[in-house]
Amino acid sequence: MPLLPSTAAAAAAALPRLRLRLPLPPRHCPQPLAPLRRAPHHSSPHPRLLPLAAALPPPPPEELPPSQATGLVAASQANFMRVIVDAAAPGLEHHRGSDLLCVVRALLKKIRRRVLVGDRVLVGAVDWADRRGMIEDVFERRSEVADPPVANVDRLVVLFSLDQPRPEPATLTRFLVEAESTGIPFVLVFNKAELVDEQTITYWQDRLKSWGYDPLFLSVDQQSGFSALEEMLEGQTTVVVGPSGVGKSSLINALRHNQNISEEDPIHKLLEQNSKWFGEQRVGTVSKKSGKGKHTTRHVSLLPVAGGGFLADTPGFNQPSLLKVTKQSLAETFPEIRKMLKANEPSKCLFNDCVHLGEHGCVVKGDWERYPYYLQMLDEIKIRETIQLRTFGTKREGDVRYKTGIMGVKQAEPRLELKKHRRVSRKKINQSILDEIEDDIDDLEDDYWFDAKRHSRR
């Protein structure tokens, strides 16, 4: 839960004292940092959406001092991030393509500038021998996906299987709506093609065509139907999403092993050095102290593929939250509605803010297959928005619970009565202070560990 202003102040007041107890050695910052812009506290209605990254582009390599580098965040694991170096100071170019284990500078967390896998970052205090560093700033972001949290994504693959499990139109629609809402190009792919006959494939092809999509069909098991997808993904950062069991991990592995990565490619070196580490990504670890594992249960890593591209491995992200979708934007995520609106141009629905319930003066007619899903999702979003506005003046996922209704479509309802929700118990407030302090102690420990390590090498 978000900290209330008073608890944030209390937590902040408690921290300096804690800080004094740790014998932190002075930190070396050879070059003044680029100005950090404070991200607005409530810049986004989405709780997990991230404040804007710095609008600054990376500096030219010749301006980097030997202790700094720029790179790509390839993975996050607990409080650490793996950064693949893409530029270092003159004379240190041979470190390109190698990776640094980094902590994130506490200040970045304080100003709520989240560092995401996929971000390009400035790493400072680099220890080239130990391959460690500290992320000091985040460069401009092209795009971001909130769920899973990945920055600079070029394409999404929405993966389903034709059998085991069979495609469920309601779930399919949910994933498609979520993908549409990101604004990032995506491709719909059906796996396990070898489990069904030609007619089934034609059936889904036609059905999806009527929805406005042109899916690819392949079989990871048979290694068939890959080439179209591979071509599409070359040189791009791709996130594969889809329900569990459809073959996301299998597809990611197959795509990686299909690639012949040349030995000259810096990625090759990285893979050799780190194959074990990347292979371990699926194993979630749990915080020793709290046993909660909150930072680690859903981590993300980018797996390098040939041609400079990356595939995001995102175990645990298989439930579209629809949090970016509003009741106004939902219609835009259905190609059927887009088509109807376009076909009727220049005439429009009578009301500008029409949500297309087929009322008088609405140009969206209800005789299409996914209309019931549209209506149910609209209901879900309306309920969520109402509750969020009433309780917090903002939008939060946790206030709504979902139950499966007719046709397997999830329906939203308030999780708690509104009155109860308004009053935050003292216990809860105390817990959130503890959480915050614990996070900060974690940060301090990272810093301390990091600095101690540096000093021991002197």
Taking CB under 5 A as the criterion, the residue among 54, 122, 151, 354 binding Zn ion is 354
Q: What sign does the CA torsion over 351, 356, 357, 361 have?
A: positive
Please say which residue, 356 or 384, places its beta carbon nearer to Zn ion. Answer: 356
313 by DSSP, 3-state: which?
strand
Minimum separation from the CB atom of position 158 to ligand GDP (A): 12
Residue 248 binds: one of ligand GDP, Zn ion, none (C-beta under 5 to 8 A by kind): ligand GDP
Name the binder of 170 from ligand GDP, Zn ion, none, CB < 5-8 A by kind.
Answer: none
Structure tokens at 458: 């002197």
Query: Which of 159, 306 has the CB closer to ligand GDP?
Result: 159
Task: Work out how close the CB of 145 gets to ligand GDP at its nearest, in angstroms, rounded to a whole number.
Answer: 17
Q: Is residue 77 within 8 Å of 299, Cβ to Cβ?
A: yes
- Contacts of 56 by beta carbon, 8 Å cutoff, 6+ apart: 34, 137, 139, 140
DSSP 61: G
Give dist(CA 3, CA 42) in Å, integer.
Answer: 12
Q: Where are the beta strands (DSSP E) in 3-79?
A: 69-77
Binding of residue 349 to Zn ion (CB under 5 A): yes
Alpha carbon 271 to chain centroid distance?
23
Q: Is 210 helix (H, G, I), strand (E, B) or coil?
A: helix
Q: Which partner from the list Zn ion, ligand GDP, none does 362 bind, CB cut-off 5 to 8 Å by kind? A: Zn ion
- Does residue 356 bind Zn ion (CB under 5 A)? yes
- Pick one of Zn ion, ligand GDP, none as the site partner of residue 356 (Cβ within 5 to 8 A by kind): Zn ion
**What is the amino acid identity at position 222?**
Q
Q: Is 31 helix (H, G, I), strand (E, B) or coil?
A: coil
How far lies 279's CA from each of 1, 261, 262, 301, in Å? 33, 17, 20, 10
Which stretch, 33-41, 179-187, 234-242, 341-349, contacts Zn ion (CB under 5 A)?
341-349
Q: Is 341 in the site for Zn ion (CB under 5 A)?
A: no
Closer Cβ to Zn ion, 138 or 349, answer by number: 349
C-alpha gyration radius of the chain: 24
Regarding 4 and contact with Zn ion (CB under 5 A), the answer is no
Closer CB to ligand GDP, 58 or 225, in the complex: 225
Closer residue to Zn ion (CB): 323 or 354: 354
Q: Which is nearer to ligand GDP, 164 or 285 (CB)?
A: 164
Closest CB 262 distance from ligand GDP, rounded Å: 27
Residues in contact with ligand GDP by CB under 6 A are 191-192, 194-195, 219-221, 242, 244-250
Closest separation in Å from C-beta 354 to Zn ion: 3
Per CB under 5 A, the list member of 362, 437, 441, 444 interacting with Zn ion is 362
C-alpha dist (Å) from residue 94 to 87, 97, 178, 246, 409: 9, 8, 41, 41, 54
Helix (H, G, I), strand (E, B) or coil at 369: coil
Query: Looking at beta carbons only, is 68 or 219 nearer to ligand GDP?
Result: 219
Say whether 81 sits in a helix, a strand or coil.
Answer: strand
Q: How far is the CB of 220 from ligand GDP (least distance, A)?
A: 4
Provide the binding-site residues for Zn ion, judged by CB under 5 A. 349, 354, 356, 362, 364
